[in-house]
Amino acid sequence: MVSRIRTRFWDPSGTRYGIPTYPRHLVPPHLLTLHQLAAQGLRPGPQGAQAQALWRGRRPGPPRVRAISLYDVRFALPKRTPSPRRRTDIFKTSRTCPECLIDVGYVLPRHLGVCLDCAEEAAA
């Protein structure tokens, strides 16, 4: 049995968060972070991130949702060094919250239009 806290970020179909989303400890084995891809001499394919892992940050101060992009290893390509401009294009798309202006590191859920922290504050 999985607890409610661990299933909060469980959204394999992406209906809640815009793209398939998993809690950090329940990521399927074919989805890798950039770091894990690079360790295998691979880079993401043109599809970009297929999914993300979310978790609650444990740093002192107001709690924030932390995120990391996940890439399907089956679409990965051999590693190559992208130009700085291309790197920016890939990673900045719709990740900056219009409310708090923070690049939150995950794709903003389309139905919210803001980051998860701003959405929670608005709901409270």
Q: Which of residues 40-99 bind Zn ion (CB under 5 A)?
A: 97, 99
Closest approach, Cβ 11 to Zn ion, in A, equals 19
Q: In angstroms, give the least distance from the CB of 118 to Zn ion.
A: 3
CB of 73 to Zn ion, least distance (A): 31
> Do the bridges between strand 65-72 and strand 31-32 make them parallel or antiparallel, or are there none, so unpaired?
antiparallel
Q: Which residues pair with 21 in a beta bridge?
A: 11, 52
Strands 51-56 and 21-23 come out as parallel
Task: Count CB-CB contacts under 10 A for residue 109.
Answer: 20
- Please identify, using beta-carbon distances, which residue of 47 and 121 lies nearer to Zn ion: 121
39 near Zn ion (CB under 5 A): no
Binding Zn ion (rule: CB under 5 A), the pick from 27, 31, 112, 115 is 115
Among 100, 103, 111, 121, binds Zn ion (CB under 5 A): 100
Smallest distance, Zn ion to C-beta of residue 38, A: 29
**Cα separations in angstroms, 25 against 29, 55, 107:** 11, 9, 19
Q: For residue 95, give the amino acid letter.
A: R
